[in-house]
Structure formats: C-alpha cells, structure tokens
Amino acid sequence: MISGPMTRRRMIGISAAAAGMALLPFESAAAIPDAVTWQGEAMGAQASLVIHHPDRAKAKKLVEATVAEVRRLERIFSLYRDDSDLTLLNRQRFLVSPPKELVEILRQSSDAWALTGGAFDPTVQPLWDTYRRHFSTSGASKAGPSAGIVRECLARVGLDRIACSSARIELPAAGSALTLNGIAQGYVTDKVVDLLRAGGIEHSMVDMGESRAIGPAWDDRPWRVGVSDPLDTARILKVLEVEDRAVATSSPFGFRFDAEGRFSHIIDPRSGATPRRHASVTVVARQAALADALSTAFNLMDVGEIVAVLEGMAGVEAHILSHDRNWTSV
C-alpha cells in the first residue's frame, strides 16, 4: 500500500523483463493517480515506465529523456542491431574514436575480469557462436563441439589482449568478438539512475534487465525484490530488501543450447566449458553493472572463490542457490 503525501514526491518505476527476479511492490506504482506511463521495449525486453511528479510536463519530459537514453545506449551496445557500434567493432575488429560509453563499459569489464580471475570476460562470444552453430546443425553430437574446435576458439578469447583507448579499440585476432550481454543491462540501468536523479527523482526502482533502487520505496520502506526459482519463475524462493542498491541474478537455466540442458549460455572463458556449479547466483551491489558482471562470473566459481573475491568489497553480497534449493549467502 502506498502512503504519504504523493503530490510532494517525485517517483518513477521502470520495469523490464529480468530472468530470476520479481519486484514485489512494483505493481502498486501503476495505481498512482495521474502518473505518466510508457510501455515499449528496452534492451530486447518488454518494458514499462511509471512516473509521478508534481509537474506533469516535467514527468513527460523525464519519460522522453529516459526512453531516448536507452535507445542511444542500445545503438552502442546491442549485438542484435546491424548499425550498433559493437556490431561494427566485431565485424571489422577495430573502432576508431569509439563512443566514450563503450570505452567505459570495457574498462568496467576489465575490472570485473581482474576481480574474478578471468571468469567474467566479454570476449567469450566466439565460444557462444560455436555452441550455437553446433547445436543448430542437424544430427549434432550431444557431447557438444569437439575439444579441438573449443581450443581454436579459446585462442581468440582474452580481455587482456584487447587494445582499448579513447582513440581506438582493437580486437586481437581474426574471429574475435565481444558480447556485452553480461554487463550492458546493468550499465544501462546505472545510466538511467543517473539521469533520473538529475531530474529530481527520489524514489525509484529501475529495471533494465537488472534492478537498482533509488532511495526507499513509495511507503518509505526498503524495496522488496524476490528471487525466483530458475525452473519455476512464478515461485519466489528468497526476498531481499534493498535501498540504494542494485540486484542482479544469473542462472545457467536462463538459456540452454541443447534439449538436455547440459550446455548453457554461461560459458567459462578460461576453459570453454559450461559448468553448472549453482542453480543461480544473485549479487547485491551499489552499481548495477558490477552486480550484473559478478552474478555471471560467480556461476563459474565455487563458494570459496566467491568469498575470496568479496573480501574487502564493502556493500557487495552474494546469494548462491544450490541445485537442491539451499541458499548460501556471503
């Protein structure tokens, strides 16, 4: 239930489909009287946006600015647009005078790569393409691509081999390619939060595939984010309370190349394997991009390795769901 003097508050709710998470109080935002709303697509998912602001004209401008910002960033990061900067970089292996946001996200990726010992690595795309091609072929071996093919792909993987500066980005070898799907949704969420705060928004849950809270919820209590069972997304297994924090969940059950589910989209860039150590990993951090990257990498690491990464990282926590549905929180 929403309480308090609504006309004095500046609020927003943005929602995009996020695998593994459900924003429990969000439905109340849609019931705010005289709210400005928008529905469409953002970062490849259905999205909605609700703003309540004392000045309706300003609310409309915030909606327009938010949608425009998401569209602008999609033109940089999307793998599914032929005209994006990322697609051009992958096609020609270099990019002159790259957008500053592309340089920034690669630097954030490099930080996550170093923190996780290379478990997070956007240069994993050649391996993803290899698994996709293999399992799209009629009569493909259920054992997956051969060890020789995987080794050939690994020769094109390694974030430390990329040359990146404000003047030029260059990929290391023919067949190298980047995917930013493990961090871009979080990065876009962070940019939208910056825009909304500059516009005076004090209460918000922004979700562009990953969630980040601005302040408390409408009723001045923490936001409640439910973590779903990856095999039954309608079933909430854990509820997290967050305020001025981001939440990201990754699971090997999000996408599987084969019918048996032995090969998932979470591929280890160090070995080329697709291990299923955990059923899902949820990370809470101040920035959505960091939570996004760590939740992906932690699916490739055992609990002890995750604990070692988090030591000394203030404000970051991980909630690890085992395959027998037990939680470990660190």
**Mean pLDDT per segment of 10 residues, for the chain of length 330 residues?**
29 45 46 66 71 78 90 93 95 97 98 97 96 92 94 95 97 93 92 90 81 84 89 90 94 88 92 94 96 97 97 94 95
| Token pair in block for residue 48 | 């909605």
pLDDT of residue 294: 98
Determine the angle formed by the axes of helices 288-298 and 184-198, rounding to 10 degrees: 160
Q: Judge contact between 32 and 52, C-beta under 8 A.
A: yes
Return phi, psi of residue 115, to 5°.
Answer: -60, -35
Q: Which residues, other chains included, contact 137 with Cβ-Cβ below 8 Å and sequence gap of 6+?
A: none
d(CA 275, CA 278): 9
In the chain, what's the furthest Cα-to-Cα distance? 65
Q: Give the residue carrying structure tokens 């493990």.
A: 182
Q: Judge contact between 266 and 181, C-beta under 8 A.
A: no
Query: Which 8-state DSSP code applies to residue 18?
Result: -
Reduced 3-state DSSP string for 175-210: CCCCCCCCCHHHHHHHHHHHHHHHCCCCEEEEECCC
Sheet holding 223-229, edge to edge: 21-23, 223-229, 232-242
H or E element that contains 110: helix 100-115
Other Cβ atoms within 10 Å of 273 Cβ, number:
12
pLDDT of residue 127: 96
Q: Judge contact between 266 and 250, C-beta under 8 A.
A: yes
pLDDT of residue 6: 28
98-120 exposure pattern, b = at least 16 Cβ within 10 A, e = fewer:
bbebbbebbebbbebbebbebbb
C-alpha 123, offset from chain centre? 16
pLDDT of residue 97: 97
pLDDT of residue 35: 66
Taking the CA atoms of residue 94, residue 273, residue 74 and residue 228 in that order, the dihedral angle to the nearest 10 degrees is -170
pLDDT of residue 16: 40
pLDDT of residue 233: 83
pLDDT of residue 59: 81
Candidates 236, 18, 222, 261; CA nearest to 131 is 261
